[in-house]
Amino acid sequence: MRLLPSALTSSFMVVLFLINIAITAQASMAGEQSGESYHLDYQVELLPEKGGAAVLVSIDNGELLRKMRFDNSSGIYTDIHANGKLTIKGKQVFWELPTKDARLSYFVKLNHERSPGKFDARMTNEWALFRGDDLIPPVETFELPGARAIAQLEFKLPAFWRSVETGWPRKKDNVFTIDNPDRLFDRPTGWMIAGKIGTRRATVKKTAIAISAPAGQGLRRMDALTFFNFVWPELHKAFEKTPQKLLVVGAGDPMWRGGLSASNSLFLHSDRPLVSENGTSPLLHELTHMVTRISGKVTDTANDDWIAEGLAEFYSFELLYRADGMTKARRTKIISALSKWGNGVEHLRKTKSTGPVTARAVVLLDDLDKEIRKRSNNKFDIDDVTRELMRHRKVSLEDLTQATQKLIGPKVETLNSPLLK
């Protein structure tokens, strides 16, 4: 093969470079001409007689959103159909969209047992309580660079059901606006409830709060709403960033007896108290998870779940204390009791944060708060560290250490504990 002279080679490379710029510009222009957005509509028909929902996903512009893939390893998605090109390989579903009016439909099973006889999603003939995370599966999308979705979620309810609630702003009737700044492809996650339900509402510090439960399920909606009215301002001060809307849902047995948080909503079993006998609040624990969205990093050598669970449990009574919901003496007793419960814990990073590990983590975080206040002459406290960790979301001991050192300098004595080795 004959080689090109160097000057000709340079000219050839310049031409290729210009062609590449032209192709990129053309693709960008295509996005700009379409406004770089496409309409994404979720239509959900709840079918209690089948224990699930029929879902239709409609997209007006397949030139912007071209391909989609999702995993069906759980097997809860059946009767899958679409126009364009639909390919199902084992548990993987691949969809190549047509250029206009793309449609994907399927049936999703909503009943789910977290443990035998205990449900974390349930549908009866009179109501349904579930998560949008299951309603719409996590998807991997292939779109034109810069393209974004304008999304909404619409429910069709059985004739005798009253209403539906989600953690998303209501557009009208049973239609909700789905807008997640963290995603290009907006997906309606979080807790949802529909049917013969009762709801109590209030707006506190610009957050619209709704407490919803099926009729006759025993959730004390007004108690919870009153609780939020005096605690929420302290939560807002601590974390500064609070959601536009919060939905709290609950029900009795056979729902799982605990609390579960999502990005804009949380579930609490009807029998769970707002404040436990040990002084901590299950509701504020889950609320801290929801607002901060902090989770612990897990590696081959360490599990830092203790940070997320420790902070959630710490704020579950600390916010109540700051709102004058308990005395300083009561707060001291809570710390003392948690210290005794976690007394046998030797390492915080070696296991998932069980009850005793979380209890011991709270004591350590309380000591860290004291050290920060003392060394900064009360200029900073644990809230400043938490807000920094909220920027990371998935955090490690190193992240916690660096966030603290930014405030008070090196050699943080509390974080040099044998518990963290």
Q: Three-class SS of residue 26?
A: helix
pLDDT over threshold 80, residue 105:
yes
Query: What average pLDDT does this structure show over 170-190?
Result: 91
Same domain? For 268 and 295 the reply is: no
Q: Is 341 a domain residue?
A: yes
Residue identified by tokens 């849902």 is 249
pLDDT at residue 9, as a whole number: 38
Query: What average pLDDT does this structure show over 9-36?
Result: 41
Q: Is 181 a domain residue?
A: yes
Least confident of 12-16, 145-149, 194-198: 12-16
Least confident of 25-29, 129-133, 168-172: 25-29
Query: What average pLDDT does this structure show over 124-137?
Result: 95
Average pLDDT value for the chain: 90
Q: Three-class SS of residue 200?
A: strand
Percent of the chain past pLDDT 70, that is, above it, reads 92
For the segment 224-266, what is each residue's pLDDT rounded down to a tens digit?
A: 999 999 999 999 999 998 888 999 999 999 999 988 988 889 9
| Domain final residue pick, 240, 272, 304 | 272
> In total, how many domains does the chain have?
2
Q: Is 3 a domain residue?
A: no
Same domain? For 318 and 379 the reply is: yes
Q: Are strands 175-178 and 148-156 parallel, antiparallel or unpaired?
A: antiparallel
* Spatial CB neighbours of 297, under 8 Å, sequence gap ≥ 6: 304, 394, 395, 396, 399
Q: Give phi and psi for 49, each to the nearest 5.
A: -65, -20
CA 14 to chain centre: 48
pLDDT over threshold 80, residue 31:
no
Assign residue 62 the CATH number of its domain. Answer: 2.60.40.3650
CA 235 to chain centre: 18
pLDDT at residue 205, as a whole number: 86
Q: What is the DSSP letter of 2?
A: P
For the segment 55-98, what is each residue's pLDDT rounded down to a tens digit?
A: 999 999 989 999 999 999 999 999 999 999 999 999 999 999 99
Same domain? For 409 and 313 the reply is: yes
Same domain? For 80 and 150 the reply is: yes
Integer Cα distance of 256 and 118 in angstroms: 5
pLDDT at residue 33, as a whole number: 42
Cross-strand partners of 113 = 119
> Count of H helices and E strands in the chain?
9, 23
Instruction: Report which secondary-structure segment, H or E, holds 224.
Output: helix 221-239
For the segment 318-371, what is each residue's pLDDT rounded down to a tens digit?
A: 999 999 999 999 999 999 999 999 999 999 998 788 999 999 999 999 999 999
What does R_g of the chain's alpha carbons equal in angstroms? 25
| Domain final residue pick, 221, 244, 272 | 272
**Confidence band, pLDDT 50/70/90 cuts, at residue 15:** very low
Q: Is 156 a domain residue?
A: yes
Same domain? For 213 and 154 the reply is: yes
pLDDT at residue 421, as a whole number: 87
**Confidence band, pLDDT 50/70/90 cuts, at residue 2:** very low
Q: Is 7 a domain residue?
A: no
| Domain final residue pick, 272, 300, 331 | 272
For the segment 259-302, what is each residue's pLDDT rounded down to a tens digit?
A: 898 888 999 999 999 999 999 999 999 999 999 999 999 988 88
SS3 of 334-373: the string is HHHHHHHHCCCCCCCCCCCCCHHHHHHHHHHHHHHHHHHH
Q: Is 16 a domain residue?
A: no
**Confidence band, pLDDT 50/70/90 cuts, at residue 181:** confident
Integer Cα distance of 195 and 212 in angstroms: 11
pLDDT over threshold 80, residue 25:
no
Same domain? For 190 and 128 the reply is: yes
Query: What average pLDDT does this structure show over 205-231?
Result: 92
Phi-psi map region of 48: left, alpha, beta (phi>0 left; psi -120 to 50 alpha)? alpha
Same domain? For 119 and 249 the reply is: yes
**Confidence band, pLDDT 50/70/90 cuts, at residue 184:** confident
Same domain? For 205 and 339 the reply is: no
pLDDT at residue 206, as a whole number: 87
* Residues written for the chain: 421
pLDDT over threshold 90, residue 10:
no
Domain range for 305 is: 291-420
Integer Cα distance of 188 and 134 in angstroms: 10
Q: Three-class SS of residue 212?
A: strand
Same domain? For 205 and 336 the reply is: no
**What type of residue is 3?**
L
**Confidence band, pLDDT 50/70/90 cuts, at residue 146:** confident
pLDDT at residue 20, as a whole number: 42
Same domain? For 236 and 296 the reply is: no
Structure tokens at 252: 């009795």
pLDDT at residue 14, as a whole number: 37
pLDDT at residue 7, as a whole number: 41
Q: Is 5 a domain residue?
A: no
pLDDT at residue 62, as a whole number: 87
Same domain? For 266 and 411 the reply is: no
Structure tokens at 250: 């609950």
Same domain? For 358 and 217 the reply is: no
Q: Is 19 a domain residue?
A: no
**Could you give the maximum distance between any two Cα atoms of the chain, in Å?**
89
